[in-house]
Structure 1
């Protein structure tokens, strides 16, 4: 049987956190004598000295430091057990699966995920990064609960979420930039285009202009950006994904005669709102809010 209660460990930790018995008593609304008594019981039960008095200061001992590390783990685990019990009683889902097209701004996505996790710290989030119809396929085969896609869903809920702008770019030393007039689509056909492969397994779609005779097809947006930054081709890339590359002159917008800017609408998709738990609804609400704050021309 345990000789020390969780409450006694909490009082011990409070003394350390607040710098003394009197300060801890004021912060956790316990009497100073009860905190002294709890710490004394721990010391008596374990046969160690947790604190010494140096002048007017309460100083933790080396043994106290070791016990504090263990106590922190014990108290944190106890808090997790209580949180899990509350989660189960409230019907909060333990896992949330989200499929997101890679053109969606990463910084904004990270903020949404972090804010959702702050409200549901025990929620396990599984993120599927997809291209073109990949997110739709994951939603259709129930591998994802929520999707952000450039294509509307065949069934279920579909809402226009935001408009993503694309800029035609190449490395500053790419041959296309040496053309002394606005670049035409005919000019582009003579140069290598970097395109993204649809991540879906079936019913794949092509995206963007595919008129170049030379074409490299890659599976991830980051690969495309890296290749073009190294002078290996050109592409229309999401403007939000290449701000740093444009700023440090690794990429330069192409002087096209027309269509130098393009855009694509992203959609928020899910199958059945009644099947979404509190965490999923929080994610959706946070997503809408952050998109609105970012003013992505929705």
Structure 2
């Protein structure tokens, strides 16, 4: 027979998270006396002191810090267990939340979504477009079910499924294209670089070459493409996103002596496969299939 309950651990965690019994009660809609009694009973059952008063705030003892880490794992697993049961009881999920990095080929994504919707007509799909570690953050916070991200999940499933090629480009009218010789990184320093901001709330991550003396930082790849097409700067942009601009001549690859092309690995990520329903699994299967088809087509094109 267990000495403690999930409810006691949940109230203990609430006290720590909110800094006191009264604050915890307001947060989880319990009376202060109920929470105080639950934590005291928890301490009595375990024979250890979990909390101590520090001024006007309640803090953790050394034993409390260790037990909180264990309690967090226990409560998270209990929440997952309930979510799995809910999914099994419902059969097919009614909503699918997906985080997709903006460098992922849009046409491929649209085909995948269309296929999934055709098989699950009542499914509501919520798509969150992200940059760099934004998709990873949403998955870690359990705000999405699946992520297509250039940053793998620290604790979860990560599958390498697609490599995106980036090309250094500028408008044909840009000053960098008026030089008669090949360009070095040193030549780029005096010209404006357009950089796309990481969409994660707690990240200042920048990637790629960032040696320009002047930079404009934007929130979306599409904004960067528009700015560069109009001659306001240069950048390394994902090739699938600029195919039309390259074909129409709005953008032109920079004649760099090295580093004109780069690649980024994308990962298919999810936290817990047991929680994924039929629609989510169909989405994953279609992403794999469409990505393999794209890779095969590119290989055939290169060989010709």
TM-score under structure 1 length normalisation: 0.69
Uncovered stretches (5+) of structure 2, i.e. residues with no partner: 1-86, 300-304
| 1:116 matched residue in structure 2 | 116
Render the CA deviation track for 1:229-267: whole Å, top value 9, x for unaligned. Answer: 000000000111111101111100000000000000000
| 1:104 matched residue in structure 2 | 104
The 2-side partners of 1:90 and 1:213 are apart by: 56
The 2-side partners of 1:144 and 1:151 are apart by: 15
| 1:251 matched residue in structure 2 | 251
| 2:268 matched residue in structure 1 | 268
The 2-side partners of 1:183 and 1:243 are apart by: 23
- Structure 1: 4+ residue segments shifted above 2 A: 87-90
> How much has 1:161 moved relative to structure 2?
1.3
| 1:135 matched residue in structure 2 | 135
User: Which structure has the bigger radius of gyration?
Assistant: 1
Indicate yes or no: 2:178 matched with 1:159.
no
TM-score under structure 2 length normalisation: 0.68
> How much has 1:203 moved relative to structure 2?
2.8
Correspondence list, 1:69-218, <5 A = 91-218=91-218
Instruction: Say which SS state the counterpart of residue 116 (structure 2) adopts.
Output: helix
Instruction: Say which SS state the counterpart of residue 129 (structure 1) adopts.
Output: strand
The 2-side partners of 1:182 and 1:150 are apart by: 31
8 Å contact kept, 1:188–1:212? yes
The 1-side partners of 2:268 and 2:279 are apart by: 16
Render the CA deviation track for 1:32-78: whole Å, top value 9, x for unaligned. Answer: xxxxxxxxxxxxxxxxxxxxxxxxxxxxxxxxxxxxxxxxxxxxxxx
* CA shift in 2, pair 1:204/1:109, >3 Å: same
Render the CA deviation track for 1:124-151: whole Å, top value 9, x for unaligned. Answer: 0000000000000000001110001101
Render the CA deviation track for 1:201-251: whole Å, top value 9, x for unaligned. Answer: 013311211110010000001000000000000000011111110111110
Judge which range, 87-96 or 108-117, deviates more: 87-96
8 Å contact kept, 1:133–1:204? no
Uncovered stretches (5+) of structure 1, i.e. residues with no partner: 1-86
* CA shift in 2, pair 1:250/1:147, >3 Å: same
| 1:289 matched residue in structure 2 | 289
The 1-side partners of 2:239 and 2:125 are apart by: 27
| 1:52 matched residue in structure 2 | none
